[in-house]
Structure 1
């Protein structure tokens, strides 16, 4: 009996510790997602107590009305910016992982933008890009006086906003890469130096294979983040001048036009796209293959 009791206790006790986090996860994650999926099949306006089932009409609208899917082209700017962001973060993480003067200062400078509130960053750069603002003043120091509205047309505005996202989120990737690089055993660097390997060869044959799982994670975050951009364009332009993102459009559908059912369908489509991208990326670069290259 005592052995059976111990076996039962060993099976029940872990679930007692997991009960609270599982309850929170179900209450605040899975239950809202289930409700969102249910709303996507209705014409609910977000206020009326009545829900009318409309089947797949909301999804049909999303895929047949081109203006609802044109916002994905805006994500291309942020996807390109994410690639630049990953390259810069990887470069700085590699350089600062070696013995460089003032490297702790540079680490703090690079990570600081990620700590600043997104709304504050939006307002700061709103004044930075406005006519006669900080950017124009910087050009004026070099004798150039650009006569253009940086946020006045689609290409310029989206490029400027994507640049702000690079400045803000590079610190996160930098810290991820730096932590991964520092976890690589130092003996590998010593052996490489004895064999005459330079810094580029050490990066190519030691660092890059050793942190491939982290690079893979950063790519997933970059793709999903480029599809779900909200704070910076919403604060700086409100989605005007061709800067409306998929999330801004979804929020407008729900709270400005009272089309909560259609907005829920849009959110479900975005969730499925992110899950599909994650699955494809995991299939192409499994963690076990990345680990075998270390």
Structure 2
């Protein structure tokens, strides 16, 4: 006992120099050194600019010149100006396009899982548009939709009269649909690869067992693939709809936001760079961030209610319906039992 107490008394706390040379100290030193570069980049290029943007949203200012503090006036103007919030209605076209592209991506990915001929070439061809930068995609479709160019020429080859073909970019009833189609063309391949990666993780023995039990391809998709990739579907849908609110490249490059095609980002760019109302544009960016956050939370709450966490076999609503049926059946059994006793 005496020797143990003496050893504890001799043992002293290490100073910083001794600690940094120890195994624990070296480990923490490596962790900190590896974190310094990414955290510095994140701080310098993300958090500090965001903080300055939030600060500028309370000022009436241009890029160069004096600043005047106006408080919440910029935010009030964002909600008062019709062209700003009216541009959010244009995002509905891109949301519709996001749903279409997810449906196509899910369909193509399912085809790839069931081993079709030329699958490698098809995957590369579908994924290739995602590798093209957005500005280039805009210029491609600017000439694709131009009057008398590619799309009109193709339709004329099939016998359509040029006078019966609409102006794809000038007709306000169809121009936003045309622009949303460019996003479908570009992002379908990306979503297909994500779906395909999730589907490849499903055990192939399940398909064989289902086939032996008489399940066709639709049954395999519905009861094996869909439950297995539920989390990826929910994630892609949330990202696609959130991205639709910030659509910029197609309307900016193809139409420059004219003829009712200006999205929220295009209007914000015009206010910031052409009108030099930097404070108002910063307020618009903060409002858009709040809208995207609210939409994301609403989607997550909805999908959590409808699909749980994306991995459970039954949703909460399905569990509730099943419990109601079980309760109803139990009540009917009790009534039947009482009727048998009384008789």
Q: TM-score range by the shorter chain?
A: over 0.9
Out of 117, 128, 136, the residue aligned to residue 112 of structure 1 is: 128
Once residues 186 and 293 of structure 1 are traced to their aligned partners in structure 2, the CA distance between those partners, rounded to angstroms, is 19
Instruction: Tell me which residue corresponds to 1:51.
Output: 67
Aligned residue-pair number: 293
How far residue 267 of structure 1 moved from its aligned partner, in angstroms, is: 0.6
Range moving further from structure 2, 212-221 or 86-95 = 212-221
With over 3 angstroms needed to count, the CA separation of the structure-2 counterparts of 1:291 and 1:16, relative to structure 1, is farther
Is 1:98 aligned with 2:118? no
Instruction: Tell me which residue corresponds to 1:232.
Output: 250
Is 1:25 aligned with 2:42? yes
Instruction: Tell me which residue corresponds to 2:216.
Output: 198
Once residues 20 and 198 of structure 1 are traced to their aligned partners in structure 2, the CA distance between those partners, rounded to angstroms, is 53
How far residue 6 of structure 1 moved from its aligned partner, in angstroms, is: 4.3
Higher RCO (C-alpha under 8 Å, 6+ residues apart): 1
Out of 306, 309, 327, the residue aligned to residue 289 of structure 1 is: 309
How far residue 193 of structure 1 moved from its aligned partner, in angstroms, is: 2.1
User: Would you say the 8 A contact 1:210–1:291 is kept in 2?
Assistant: yes
Once residues 288 and 182 of structure 1 are traced to their aligned partners in structure 2, the CA distance between those partners, rounded to angstroms, is 23
The 5-angstrom pairing of residues 115-194 of structure 1 reads 115-147=131-163, 148-194=166-212
Q: What TM-score do you get using the length of structure 1 for normalisation?
A: 0.93
Helix, strand or coil at the partner of 1:292: coil
Instruction: Tell me which residue corresponds to 1:212.
Output: 230
Out of 40, 44, 59, the residue aligned to residue 57 of structure 2 is: 40
Q: CA RMSD in A?
A: 2.0
Q: What TM-score do you get using the length of structure 2 for normalisation?
A: 0.81
Range moving further from structure 2, 283-292 or 164-173 = 283-292
Range moving further from structure 2, 224-233 or 84-93 = 224-233
User: Would you say the 8 A contact 1:136–1:145 is kept in 2?
Assistant: no
Larger Rg: 2
Helix, strand or coil at the partner of 2:174: helix
Once residues 288 and 67 of structure 1 are traced to their aligned partners in structure 2, the CA distance between those partners, rounded to angstroms, is 38
User: Would you say the 8 A contact 1:153–1:242 is kept in 2?
Assistant: no
Is 1:74 aligned with 2:94? no
Range moving further from structure 2, 250-259 or 225-234 = 225-234
Once residues 278 and 150 of structure 1 are traced to their aligned partners in structure 2, the CA distance between those partners, rounded to angstroms, is 32
Output one character per residue of 1:182-218: Cα deviation in whole Å (capped at 9) or x when no partner.
1112222222223222111111111111111111111
How far residue 145 of structure 1 moved from its aligned partner, in angstroms, is: 1.5
**Which 4+ stretches in 1 moved above 4 angstroms?**
1-12
Once residues 151 and 140 of structure 1 are traced to their aligned partners in structure 2, the CA distance between those partners, rounded to angstroms, is 18
With over 3 angstroms needed to count, the CA separation of the structure-2 counterparts of 1:138 and 1:184, relative to structure 1, is same
Which blocks of at least 5 consecutive residues in structure 1 are unaligned?
none
Output one character per residue of 1:127-183: Cα deviation in whole Å (capped at 9) or x when no partner.
111111111111111211132321112222111111111111111111111111111
Once residues 192 and 214 of structure 1 are traced to their aligned partners in structure 2, the CA distance between those partners, rounded to angstroms, is 23
Instruction: Tell me which residue corresponds to 2:290.
Output: 272
User: Would you say the 8 A contact 2:144–2:151 is kept in 1?
Assistant: yes
User: Would you say the 8 A contact 1:119–1:231 is kept in 2?
Assistant: yes
Out of 281, 284, 295, the residue aligned to residue 263 of structure 1 is: 281
